[in-house]
C-alpha cells in the first residue's frame, strides 16, 4: 500500500490510500481519456471545469448557481465560464420558463454534438477499463458509485467562515443505467 503525508495543524499524518484520493485519480484518468478522444474526433479540448459543467448539464443541473455549488466554484467564476462556453458555441443561456428573472443553461447544437462524441468516448473508455480490470469489476464499481450513500457526512456541521466558497449540498442519488 502506498502511503503519503497529509499536513494537519502543522503535523504530518499518514493518510494511506483514502477513497477520495482514488476517486480523484480515477476522475483524472477518465477526463484525460475523454479529452484525448474529443481531440482525436476533431473537437477542441475543454478545461476540466467546462467538462464538469457539461456532465452536470447532462445530469439535469441547469441553473448557474446550482452548477457553481456542485462544482465548488464561485458564481462569478461559473458565469464567466458559461459566457466563454456560450461564445465557443457549447451552451446557450436562456430565460428560465419557471422564473423569468433567472437563466438556465442548455446545450447548443454544437454542444449537443460534442456531448454525443463524449458519450461515445466514455463508452469506449469504460470498455477499455473493462478489458484492463475486468467487466465484472467495472459493473461492480458502477453499482457502488451509483448507490445512494445517504446524506453528506457532517452536513449539519456549524456554518463555516464566509470564505466566498459555496457550501456543499447533498448530492442527488443517480440511477445506474443498464
Average pLDDT, the chain: 85
Distance CA 127, CA 145 (A): 17
Count of beta carbons in the 10 Å neighbourhood of residue 105:
26
CA distances for 25 relative to 7, 21, 34, 71, 101, angstroms:
20, 6, 14, 17, 39
Strands (E), 9-70: 11-14
Which residues of the chain fall short of a pLDDT of 70?
1-16, 158-178
Q: Which domains does the chain have, with CATH numbers?
A: 19-145 (1.10.10.10)
pLDDT of 23-70, one tens digit each?
999 999 999 999 999 999 998 878 999 999 998 998 899 999 999 999
pTM for this model (two decimals): 0.72
Exposed/middle/buried for 43, CB within 10 Å: 0-12, 13-18, 19+? middle
CA distances for 79 relative to 17, 68, 168, angstroms:
35, 9, 19
Amino acid at each position: 500500500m502506498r502511503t503519503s503525508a497529509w499536513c494537519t495543524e502543522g503535523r504530518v499524518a499518514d493518510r494511506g490510500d483514502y477513497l477520495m484520493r482514488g476517486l480523484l485519480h480515477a476522475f483524472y484518468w477518465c477526463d484525460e481519456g475523454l479529452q484525448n478522444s474529443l481531440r482525436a474526433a476533431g473537437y477542441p479540448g475543454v478545461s476540466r471545469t467546462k467538462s464538469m459543467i457539461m456532465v452536470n448539464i447532462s445530469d439535469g443541473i441547469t441553473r448557474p448557481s446550482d452548477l457553481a455549488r456542485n462544482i465548488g466554484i464561485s458564481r462569478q467564476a461559473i458565469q464567466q465560464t458559461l459566457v466563454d462556453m456560450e461564445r465557443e458555441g457549447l451552451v446557450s443561456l436562456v430565460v428560465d420558463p419557471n422564473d423569468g428573472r433567472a437563466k438556465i443553461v442548455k446545450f447548443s447544437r454544437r454542444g449537443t454534438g460534442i456531448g454525443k462524441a463524449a458519450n461515445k468516448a466514455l463508452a469506449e473508455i469504460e470498455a477499455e477499463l473493462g478489458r484492463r480490470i475486468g467487466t465484472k469489476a467495472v459493473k461492480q464499481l458502477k453499482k457502488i458509485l451509483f448507490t445512494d450513500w445517504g446524506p453528506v457526512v457532517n452536513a449539519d456541521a456549524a456554518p463555516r467562515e464566509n470564505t466566498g466558497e459555496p457550501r456543499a449540498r447533498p448530492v442527488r442519488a443517480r440511477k445506474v443505467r443498464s
